[in-house]
C-alpha cells in the first residue's frame, strides 16, 4: 500500500473549504453528526464498512445522539493527506443517506 504524502497547509485549507462542516484540529479533520443513539451506531457500522473498502479508518466517538468522526493518515505520521478528505466525502454521503444531520 502506497502512503500518500502529507498535504501543505495551503492544500489543507483549500480541501477543507470544499467540505461542509468539517473542521481542522491540528493534524486531523473532524465532524459531528446528530441522530438517535441507535442510528449513530448503525452509521458507524456503515462507515466502518466503507473504511475497510478504501483502506482508511477514522476514529469514531459515539455519545448520546451524537457521532463524531476524526480523520488523519496514521501511516503518514498522523498527518493530513488526500485520503482524509476522500474519506470525509464518503462519510458525508453515508450520513446523509442515514438522515444524520451535522451537529
Report the percent of the chain where pLDDT is more than 70.
99
Q: How far apart are CA 28 and CA 43, in angstroms?
A: 20
pLDDT above 90: residue 3 = no
Q: How far apart are CA 100 and CA 97, in angstroms?
A: 8
- Confidence at residue 1, expressed as pLDDT on a 0 to 100 scale: 65
User: Are the CB atoms for 16 and 98 separated by under 8 Å?
Assistant: no
Closest-CA residue to 74 (of 86, 89, 51, 57): 57
Q: What is the pTM of this model?
A: 0.95
Instruction: Give the pLDDT confidence of 37-78 residue by residue, as tens digits.
Output: 999 999 999 999 999 999 999 999 999 999 999 999 999 999
User: Are the CB atoms for 71 and 87 separated by under 8 Å?
Assistant: yes
Amino acid at each position: 500500500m502506497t502512503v500518500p504524502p502529507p498535504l501543505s497547509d495551503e492544500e489543507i485549507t483549500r480541501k477543507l473549504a470544499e467540505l461542509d462542516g468539517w473542521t481542522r484540529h491540528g493534524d486531523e479533520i473532524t465532524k459531528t453528526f446528530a441522530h438517535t443513539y441507535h442510528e449513530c451506531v448503525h452509521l458507524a457500522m456503515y462507515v466502518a464498512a466503507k473504511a475497510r473498502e478504501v483502506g482508511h479508518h477514522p476514529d469514531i466517538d459515539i455519545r448520546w445522539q451524537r457521532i463524531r468522526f476524526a480523520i488523519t493518515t496514521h501511516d503518514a505520521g498522523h498527518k493530513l493527506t488526500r485520503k482524509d478528505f476522500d474519506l470525509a466525502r464518503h462519510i458525508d454521503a453515508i450520513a446523509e443517506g442515514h438522515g444524520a444531520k451535522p451537529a
